[in-house]
Amino acid sequence: MFEKSENRDDYQRVPRPLAAMARDLPDRHHIPDHHHRRSQLIYGTTGAITVDTAHGTWVVPATRGVWVPAGVTHAMSCIGAVRMRTLYIRPAAAPRLPAVPTVVAVSPLLRELIEAATRIPVEYEVGGRDGAVMDLLLRELEPRPVPALHLPSAAGDQQLAGLCAAIHAEPGRSWTTTTAAAHAHLSPRTLQRRFGTATGMTLSHWVQQSRLLHAVTLLAGGVPVTTVAARLGYATPSAFTAMFRRALGVAPSSYFATPGE
């Protein structure tokens, strides 16, 4: 059995439209901001993956992958041990996929095709069996729109950056305008004005987005909905579920379900 490189840079200029890399990563492994010459499908057959871009944040399990177009800066973190299976695709080879990051549904067939692709040589025979597998894989890639969990930074305002860090560290705390203003040593009116300017969001929206990001990360790790609701400060699981459904379009119990179930 031949061995393929685990270095992403080795897959950017290969003489085929599609190349696949297999790499096993430990829990909490983090890959900092970077970008690729090729478009990429980030997928793990185990655990869950968090992908951060300027367009938003996604937390996806083994039923979904994240499509990252060529040139888009992104970072990635593992929740649990992740058997990462990455596709590097020449942009012209996937014209149906969007020019912005999105989620791709991974059906059982696509999962098997991805696994097979990782065992195919980089310079596979285009007209042979390996080429047919790669062609079918490209046909099976389908975008699945899922709302992003965008949490903008307030890095340009030191006082508010400290407040955002505190909120993100304690999302279950009651962060009213009054308590947040006191934490940042600002008046409530000044806080509201500066927070909107720095982040493009109201304080309440930012707090909700922080809670949602924590929620999907906990859910991806198998934490029960009732426990997640309590940790995030909701009086009842139903109140948390209602907020989650309003923001992301599905109930927490369905967010990581296999498409079509």
Q: Using the structure block, give the residue that is written with the tokens 């596709």.
A: 87
Q: Are 30 and 108 in contact (CB under 8 A)?
A: no
pLDDT of 195 > 60? The answer is: yes
Instruction: Tell whether the model's pLDDT for residue 1 goes beyond 90.
Output: no
The pairing of beta strand 48-53 with beta strand 74-79: antiparallel
DSSP 258: P
Q: Percent of the chain at pLDDT above 90?
A: 80
- Banded pLDDT at 151 (limits 50, 70, 90): confident
Residue with tokens 């940790």: 231
- Going by pLDDT thresholds of 50, 70 and 90, the confidence category of residue 190 is very high
CA 46, 69, 142, 19 dihedral sign is: negative
List, in order, residues 6 or more apart from 16 with CB less than 8 Å away: 122, 123, 124, 126, 134
Q: What percent helix, strand, coil does the chain show, rounded to 5? A: 40, 20, 40
For range 169-189, the mean pLDDT: 96
Q: What is the mean pLDDT of residues 112-136?
A: 96
**Taking all residues of the chain, what is their mean pLDDT, rounded to a whole number?**
93
Cβ atoms of residues 42 and 83 within 8 Å: no
DSSP 184-226: HTS-HHHHHHHHHHHHSS-HHHHHHHHHHHHHHHHHHTT--HH
Distances from the Cα of 238 to the Cα of 25, 144, 198, 241, 252, angstroms: 35, 26, 33, 5, 10
Length of the chain (residues):
261
pLDDT bin (cut points 50, 70, 90) of residue 258 is low
Q: What is the pLDDT of residues 25-49, one digit of tens each?
A: 999 999 999 999 999 999 999 999 9
Task: For each of the domains in the chain, give its residue range(s) and CATH number, in order of start.
Answer: 8-140 (2.60.120.810), 158-254 (1.10.10.60)
Nearest to 157 by CA among 210, 113, 199, 128: 199
Count helices and strands (H / E) in the chain: 8, 9
pLDDT at 259 over 60: no
Query: How many angstroms separate the CA atoms of 53 and 236, rounded?
Result: 32
Quote the tokens at residue 78: 């593992």
